Amino acid sequence: MENNKKKVEGIDAALKEYLAGDTPPELWDAMRYSVFTGGKRLRPQLLLATCTGLGSDVNTAMPFACSIEMIHTYSLIHDDLPAMDNDEMRRGNPTCHIKYGEAMAILAGDALLNLAFETMSNACKEHPEHIEAMTTISRASGANGMIAGQTVDILSENKSIDECALCYIHANKTAALFKASLEVGGILGGASDSQRSCLSEIGDSLGRAFQIRDDLQDITLSTEEMGKPAMSDIKNNKVTYVSLYGREQALVDCNALTGKARELIQNLQLKNTDLLSLTEFFCV
């Protein structure tokens, strides 16, 4: 845990440097508020753990790790907006639009997305061979990834969707960024083709497990423990993994996906156990 705290501090220190702008202050305050209110930094940690596990250093990977976190944060700001999930609390604090107003929240999200790509393109100036890492993140966060998942999720509200549609939503809305974190760690760490396909599978499994865990927590944790209203999916009339398969099956499937990811990680014979340790966040 001490080791994990140090890693999160390293990511936070780098994010602070990228988010050092201050004009206009209202915009940068809203951006910093959303980035620095208690995120677990799971995606950047996965990216860095993969890269260092393959023997590469943290510094080359840090701009990409921070960019994934900026994109994740923008997606949360926009997801909380009245036009999407209409949430007033996140991580135990008022959501960005509640604190800064809807217009500033939209702009803060837009600005974080742009800052992510500015950060990655600056990194690619020094290492043009890392352009593939930026392409991977663009694809995973865009209309063939996270935004596609969010679109189908929004279109499915108040509808009884089937297993196939729910699988599509989870694979794209949630798992795509986790998968990209592992893939980018692999690209920057110089993984072989077979290691890279293994990393994609690990990222996809962890991402799906994470969403099932989130669905389980929605019905088992209190509002205080969640940092946002409990039972929100049920209240919003959304089909979840738990409502479709039942709690027992969801527990089994979440742990099976994490177990599969652990097995694949062990087969990779990485140079440290950081990636394996991170899988603890994906079990129930």
Q: Does 172 bind ligand GRG (CB under 6 A)?
A: no
Q: Does 79 bind ligand GRG (CB under 6 A)?
A: yes
**Tokens read off for 60:** 């080359």
Phi-psi region of 161 (alpha: psi -120 to 50; beta: other; left: phi over 0): beta
Q: Does 78 bind ligand GRG (CB under 6 A)?
A: yes
Q: How far is the CB of 42 from ligand GRG (least distance, A)?
A: 5
Q: How far is the CB of 267 from ligand GRG (least distance, A)?
A: 26
Contact 64, 188 (CB under 8 A): yes
Cα separations (Å) of 214 from 177, 202, 241, 283? 15, 18, 9, 11
Q: Does 39 bind ligand GRG (CB under 6 A)?
A: yes
Q: Does 91 bind ligand GRG (CB under 6 A)?
A: yes
Cα separations (Å) of 185 from 16, 71, 203? 22, 16, 11
Interface residue with ligand GRG, options 147, 152, 167, 276 (CB under 6 A): 147
Kindly tell me which of 69 and 191 has the beta carbon lying closer to ligand GRG. 69
Q: Does 145 bind ligand GRG (CB under 6 A)?
A: no
Q: Does 11 bind ligand GRG (CB under 6 A)?
A: no
Contact 219, 206 (CB under 8 A): no
Whose tokens are 């999930």? That residue is 85
Contacting residues toward ligand GRG, per CB under 6 A: 39-40, 42, 75-76, 78-79, 91, 146-147, 150, 173-174, 211, 214
